[in-house]
Amino acid sequence: MEGILSTNLESRVELKKPNGDVYLQIERMSDNEYILAHWVGRQTLETVKEGGSYYAKMMEKLPCEKLLNSHEELIGPWDVANDWITQEWTPKVRALGLHYLAQVLAPGIYGQMSFHQLHERIDNHFEIYLFNDERSAKEWLLSLPNN
C-alpha cells in the first residue's frame, strides 16, 4: 500500500496514486458512528483493492458496522473490481462486523452501472441503501441503532 500517506491506521487518511492524485479519503467518524470512504476520480482494480484493504485493516483495528461509501466524485466505470469485491472483500468485512452500507451513487452512468452490477452480487450480505448525496446517506446511518 505505497499510496498511503501514513503507515499507521489514523482516523482520517488520504490514499494517493503513484502520480500523487488522491483517489480515496477515508475517515472514521467520532464515537465510531460510521466510516466514510469518499472515492475520487477514476478507479482501477489496484486502487479498489488498496482502498478496500485499508478499510478492512481499519475494521480489524476497531470494528464498525456502518459504512458510508461515497462515489460523489468518482469518474467512470470500476466494474473490473467487482469479482474481487464479491469474492474477497465482502466476506472479510462482513466477518469483521460490517452490516449497513449507505452507497452514494456516482454522477455518471458508468459508475452507477458498475455499482448496480455489484449490488446484485452482494445485496444479501449487507443492508444497502442508495443515495444521491452524502448528507442523506449520513442521516440514514445515524438513524440506525448502534449494536
Q: Is residue 78 part of a domain?
A: yes
Q: Is residue 49 part of a domain?
A: yes
Number of domains the chain contains:
1
Q: What is the pLDDT along the chain (147 residues), one digit of tens a residue?
A: 444 444 345 688 999 999 999 999 999 998 899 999 999 999 999 999 999 999 999 999 999 999 999 999 999 999 999 999 999 999 999 999 999 999 999 998 988 888 888 888 888 889 999 999 999 999 999 999 876
Residue 49: the pLDDT is: 97
Q: Is residue 3 part of a domain?
A: no
Residue 119: the pLDDT is: 80
Q: Is residue 1 part of a domain?
A: no
With beta carbons less than 8 A apart as the criterion, state whether 52 and 121 touch.
Answer: no
Q: Is residue 7 part of a domain?
A: no
The domain in which residue 52 lies consists of 12-143
Q: Report the candidate in 106, 108, 105 with the shortest Cα–Cα distance to residue 129.
A: 105
Q: Is residue 133 part of a domain?
A: yes
Please enumerate in sequence order all residues whose Cβ is within 8 A of that of 111, keeping only pairs 6 or more positions apart, or say none.
Answer: 71, 74, 75, 76, 77, 78, 105
